Structure 1
């Protein structure tokens, strides 16, 4: 059986393929013959979406059912392409309702081991299994991603405290690839709408990705000035903002992403460029760190580990380096704008860590945060937490 079709269409996010396999398994468990496709209800959408299945079957003498779908994220660069999704559904003898479990290859939150699943993904599963509960009773749903653990090593999941596999995240059914031109056009459209509104004061917050957007909203930045999510197309959106009349732009993002701007890399998708530790090491040279420290930073596996190591050895030096990074983001951004003839827009950079705490900012970023009534989260000395290097 094929994993895609003209009916389902390519370009569906991982939660949709998980929900399709879950519904198919539940149908088989309830006595239906193995379906080749299922019709899904999507939150906030009218009608149904047909999604094809790879296989479905009863297991353990009819006590469980397994269904398999194969992820098709559509055109563009996406590591979930061709990913098999196995969902095992069984009757719950002691609990009513729906209970979702992380199987092999599915991401868990490092702090408590809980399944890492977005609100949209959970709602999608509940919406498409709730009508079967009166027939089969309580359901235990285990999601397995056979290659999830391997693929997670190629993501920044661990930077946000997600371990053991891929997170079941997503906020909609259709893929919006952060590296695709379509995503850039949507962001530009949003920018034009905001800057064209009556009373626009020339101030804007540009956030990088869903984590940045969520954090900005929690901090109340959306109440102070408009928000635009950039994805990986940061450079073109900086230029578009300046050309649209923005005079003060606050750039908010994860430090492991924004450091690329400090190295002059303004399209930040990992398929196109990385060089994060190399940029960090160059900044460390400028800050006068010892050769031994620079070598140690280059041996770390991530920006978080680099921060942890340097914080453990010299907190003052660590803070100085990361604040210098934020200042370099501001300087490189303004140089990028001048290259395209854009002057008159101030850029402030604010960086957050894996716990989504505001930690570092450049001089402009500090002023802009102060104007918005937001403060940086203080960093306490904790030498026992830094990872050791050998």
Structure 2
């Protein structure tokens, strides 16, 4: 597979780092190349080399641009670079440089204090360098990402305790469309970090708004808060696998109420149903046709709450919805749940 924007797949930062390392080594003997084959768990990948140069008689540098494909992420078009120095032993040492994050919390695949270059990328670098290293020689590899610290602000790294840069990732060598798989795995890492910090009961929130409100309202430490994004079912599966005993589901009404209808992927394009859910519970409480019609004409959950406020029905409706959310979750998971539903400004809508 070739690294280009017409491919259905992209390459991982790990594959880019491995290709850069091999190209850097080859430049020492003035072998300047524009493309290189590297071995990955997926198979052989052809990866374009953006630039390479000889530093001195035993060192070289090369960079790979992580090219766009049909489902780009924040690392698309980022330069992933490597400096390689030949050493006199047969050991290959790998470290991070500028723009590669450093692990500061336990619970991840890499020990605290080391750079966030995951095990599979490390092995890819070693495997591919061993093919071209002179017999009996080793190498010191420094992976660096010139804009990595800036790009890392758009990733989950700070939540995972990875500071000052991006992670060098990948388990197969290729990035699949919507690496929703990779994204979900990064979300699940939050649970590992929380468990390593000693927490057995956690607070799950949909995203940044929920986290901010949970910190403010519950006075919760950030390490205890886990962002689910839209992947409620996936994250609860992982929580159960990891032995979490209690979860507070805390978040805005527009996300959490979907769970009351058994919707465990809350992305709007997958399932919406917000007005239908609120209308159904209004009906259970005896609301008239006019009120239910007003709910159906509303564009946002906040608008629906405003309508319920005028009828003094908000607490009654969301108390029922909260109980239903808890029932749906406890039907599927052996976890004790509490449900806290809030508005955008942090007003709690149900009994906790």
Which digits, 9 at most, give the CA deviation of each residue in 1:311-364, with x for residues without a partner? xxxxxxxxxx9725289876541236493999xxxxxxxxxxxxxxxxxx9676
SS at match of 1:212: helix
The offset of 1:179, in angstroms, is: 6.7
Partners in 2 of 1:126 and 1:335 — Cα distance? 50
Partners in 1 of 2:162 and 2:136 — Cα distance? 33
Which digits, 9 at most, give the CA deviation of each residue in 1:184-232, with x for residues without a partner? xxxxxxxxxxxxxxxxxxxxxxx9435638979xx9xxxxxxxxxxxxx
In the alignment, does 2:103 pair up with 1:109?
A: yes
- TM-score, scaled to structure 1: 0.52
334, 337, 346: which one pairs with 2:260?
A: 334
Which digits, 9 at most, give the CA deviation of each residue in 1:284-313, with x for residues without a partner? 3xxxx7xxx7xxx8xxxx944989xxxxxx
1:109/1:116 contact within 8 Å kept: yes
- TM-score, scaled to structure 2: 0.57
Partners in 1 of 2:5 and 2:158 — Cα distance? 36
Which digits, 9 at most, give the CA deviation of each residue in 1:17-54, with x for residues without a partner? 1111111011122x242111111111253xx3211111
- Distance change >3 Å, CA 275–CA 177, structure 1 → 2: farther
2:34/2:50 contact within 8 Å kept: yes
Structure 1 unaligned residues grouped into runs of 5+: 184-206, 220-253, 261-267, 269-273, 308-320, 343-360, 377-390
Partners in 2 of 1:215 and 1:306 — Cα distance? 9
The offset of 1:108, in angstroms, is: 1.4
Partners in 2 of 1:209 and 1:56 — Cα distance? 33
Structure 2 unaligned residues grouped into runs of 5+: 106-111, 196-200, 227-245, 264-271, 278-324, 338-352
In the alignment, which residue of structure 2 is the partner of 1:96?
90
Q: Which has the higher contact order (CA 8 A, sep 6+)?
A: 2
- Give runs of aligned pairs for residues 33-44 of structure 1, distance below 5 A: 33-44=31-42
In the alignment, which residue of structure 2 is the partner of 1:82?
77
The offset of 1:10, in angstroms, is: 6.0
Q: Find the structure with the greater CA-based Rg.
A: 2
In the alignment, which residue of structure 2 is the partner of 1:27?
26
Compute the RMSD of aligned alpha carbons.
4.4
2:92/2:139 contact within 8 Å kept: yes
How many pairs were matched up?
247
In the alignment, does 2:205 pair up with 1:259?
A: yes
- Distance change >3 Å, CA 367–CA 101, structure 1 → 2: same
